[in-house]
Amino acid sequence: MQNPPNDTPQLINQQQSTNSNMTKQTYASISKQTQNQFLPRSHAIVIDTLDDFKLTDYVVAIGTIIGPKFIKSASRISNNRICIYLTSTELVNQLINDKKTIRIEDKEFKIRKLITLAQRLVIGNVCTSIPHCIIENEIAKIGLRAVSSVTTLRARILDDASSHVESFRRQVFVTPPEDNFELPQSIVINFEDTTFRLFLSFEEITCFICKQQGHSTNRCPTNTTANSQSASVPNNETIDDDNEDEEEPRNADLEPQHETPTKPHKNKINQ
């Protein structure tokens, strides 16, 4: 009697091939699901906490507003805070702008961003004799935290030999204490027995070639001369774009406005 053909090796090979395909599909599926799991810090909010409540309470409160599926991760962090990552920065902005706070039982908790983007602060009417450190101290008093050094903006002198001449304007990048921070239009400072009024404004860098905001002349895509010069700069030299002034900037090159001195007999008047 003839034995039936042995199909076992073929079946094993088919099963191994099927398992291999399943493994590949599972790996590809997992890769696709996890490729966007690493979110930038701009997706995160923080909430000051109380010991009376658990992490679940805060997550549920946020989920009730935006939907649980839009919450990526949550954890307690330092300084009695909870950090929650959302799936998009748009959700973060909308939550901060529309709600600002969440309520758990009878307690209210303020929501804020994990990181606050720096803004360019321009200070006008700053006499050349005033040191940068005075400016740094004064802006700190109104709640602004400097994240860069103070620099002096160049005056818009259309003469190559005089292109180094500086204006009475300074700039510094700062982070405000909160999103709805209202910048005062001016502040009054005292330096060397003289009182000065400085003008403050948040401004974007404006290119005075293409008149667009967000880049300076050296970075202008339409300025082929500046781009070629930038490309030819040796490795040990840099071009300081931040020191470039805008065309016809606000509060530019104003005459010093001295307030009534507190001590007239000691007042020094800058001519």
Residue type, 145: R
Same domain, 192 and 223: yes
Q: Given pLDDT bands bounded at 50, 70 and 90, which one contains residue 185?
A: very high
Q: With respect to residue 84, please indicate whether it lies within any of the assigned structural domains.
A: yes
Instruction: Report the distance separating Cα 197 and Cα 234, nearest Å.
Output: 41
- Asked whether residue 145 falls in the same domain as residue 89, the answer is no
* Shared domain check, 206 and 75: no
- Which residues are CB-neighbours of 65 under 8 A, at least 6 positions away? 95, 99, 102
For residue 1, name the pLDDT band (cuts at 50, 70, 90): low
Residue 205: what pLDDT?
Answer: 65
Claim to verify: residue 100 and residue 149 sit in the same structural domain: no
- Of 65, 80, 113, the last residue of a domain is 113
Query: Tokens 């020094």 map to which residue?
Result: 268
Q: Are residues 147 and 163 in the same domain?
A: yes
Identify whether residues 149 and 248 lie together within a single domain.
yes
User: pLDDT per residue over 74-83, tens digit each?
Assistant: 999 988 899 9
Average pLDDT rounded to a whole number, residues 27-53: 74
Look at the pTM and tell me if it is higher than 0.75.
no
Confidence of residue 167 (pLDDT cuts 50, 70, 90): very high
CATH number at residue 68: 3.30.70.330
Total domains in the fold of the chain: 2
Residue 26 lies in a domain: no
Q: Is residue 136 located within the same domain as residue 202? A: yes
Beta carbons within 8 Å of 142's beta carbon, 6+ residues apart: 183, 184, 187
For the ranges 40-44, 135-139, 193-197, 211-215, which has the lowest average pLDDT? 211-215
Residue-level pLDDT at 28: 52
The domain of 64 spans 41-113
